[in-house]
Amino acid sequence: MIPRYPRSNRRAFLQGASLATLSALVGAAIPFHRHLPRGFVPVVIADDLTIAGKAGLSVLNDRPLNAETPPALLDDAITPTHRHFIRNNGNPPADTSADAWRLAVDGLVKTPFDLSIDDLKQRFEVVRLALVIECGGNGRAFFDPPARGNQWTYGAVGCSLWTGVRLKDVLAAAGVDDNVVYTAHYGADTHLSGDPARLPISRGVPIAKALTDGVLIAFEMNDGPLHPMNGAPLRLVVPGWPGSCSQKWLTRIQLRDIVHDGPKMTGKSYRVPNRPVAPGEKVDEQNFEIIERMPVKSLITSPATGVETNESVVAVRGHAWSGDRAIASVDVSFDFGARWQRAQLDPPFNAGAWQNWRTTVRLPQAGYYEIWARATDTAGDAQPHAIDWNPKGYLNNTMHRVAVRLT
């Protein structure tokens, strides 16, 4: 793990951690937790903050838990569960056992219902898809002036295998009323204030998006259980849209005849100005619009930035993705963008997955290089050099640059 804060501080924040967080850190329920003195840190985590079932993630915030994956640890073609980032808005539910879990589908439907996870598996076709989830604020750390929120750098993205049923099949079974415009998603996590009347987050998507093939109600991740911090036992996966659309610990989907107005739908949350703005510019709330698809982007997962080598031939590889679109090409430069070479690009595992790419660069002489990658999607959009600044720090899809020193 990359330490972001001095070790001495870990104890302080663990002392304030909730039982659910402590359990996640230890990797098991803590049966005798009531005997733990307040502020007591279980010995297995006292010395180093690790998240059980997650390896190498950088912890941005421990309460609520928010952690991202350094790019070099995202090298796998499919993101293993232990490498998938965590973005929590509230306190995760204490009980995430699948047996008693219920999902309600209601609002403007012909037949509202309430189903167990077994019911979902029995009534609907079960599919397994590789799907990209990226936090809307991935890359926020590089905004200048800074934008508020968790300061994600590169690694709030992953493409795991998700098994579940299609949201559109479930909605078809419920019968979507003609006047429905938006979905509203609810989860079992609780607000940080402890006030049961508040929800940590409840977002939704336009009904047209909800009825596309790739949107899943998922109960498995990489052929195993969902990680508790990734929404076990049930979550939505809305590929290519801000991760916040993919409600974790999913308990209810409601259909509405207005654009959903739950927490983090309104104001400036997950919204950007409806026109280009100057860095630092003040923008009136009414001139913000809801983010839908995420823009074209790529990551270099090898080599790791900062690497020193005496081998002038360097294998370069990574992933590229673009919300609701495929990637047409990936180009790589090692001379600050003067010349570009085309990488070999794989087709996606399925629509909604990222695409893996690779190439080899030959560094001409000893010295400092930056390897840059630039993806172009099927609509012709390519990654920019500079950030399209917006007040809340969303949608940073600038090129990823890694430093390599040839000795």
Partner 1 sequence: MREETRLGVAFASVLLSSHAAGDAPFGVLVDADGAAETYGVCIACHSEKIIAQQGLSRAAWDELLDWMVEEHGMANIQGPVRDRILDYLAQHYGEDRPNYSPD
Binding site for ligand HEC (CB under 6 A): 89, 148-149, 192-193
Task: Name which of 257 and 285 has its Cβ closer to ligand HEC.
Answer: 285
Q: Which is nearer to partner 1, 16 or 276 (CB)?
A: 16
Closest to ligand HEC by CB, 7 vs 148, is 148
Q: Which residue is nearest to ligand HEC, using beta carbons?
A: 89
Tokens 């794989």 belong to 346
CB nearer partner 1, residue 167 or residue 201: 201
DSSP 285: G
Q: Which of the listed partners (partner 1, ligand HEC, none) does 175 bind, with a CB threshold of 5 to 8 Å by partner kind?
A: none
CA nearest neighbour of 117 among 237, 235, 219: 219
Residue 151 binding target from partner 1, ligand HEC, none, CB below 5 to 8 Å by type: partner 1
Choosing among ligand HEC, partner 1, none, which partner's interface includes residue 258 (Cβ < 5 to 8 Å by kind)? none
**Whole-number minimum distance, CB 209 to partner 1, in Å?**
25
Q: Of 362, 372, 358, nearest to 313 (Cα)?
A: 362
CB 266 → ligand HEC: shortest distance, Å? 13
Cβ at position 147, least distance to partner 1 in Å = 9
Contacting positions for partner 1 (CB under 8 A): 2, 4-6, 8-9, 11-13, 15-16, 58-64, 141, 145-146, 148, 150-151, 153, 191-195, 198, 263, 267
Reported as half-sphere exposure (CB side, CA atoms, 13 A), residue 348 has a value of 25
| 74: three-class secondary structure by DSSP | helix
Structure-token match 């993919």, residue found: 246
Give least dist CB 34 to partner 1, A. 22
Neighbouring-strand partners of residue 66: 61, 87
DSSP letters along 179-240, please?
Answer: T--EEEEEES-B-TT--TT--S-----BHHHHTSTT-EEEEEETTBPPPGGGTTT-EEE-TT
**How far is Cα 357 from Cα 193, in angstroms, rounded to an integer?**
44
- What minimum distance in Å lies between the beta carbon of 171 and partner 1? 30
Return the bridge partners of 329, or none: 376
Name which of ligand HEC, partner 1, none residue 363 binds, using a CB cut-off of 5 to 8 Å depending on partner kind. Answer: none
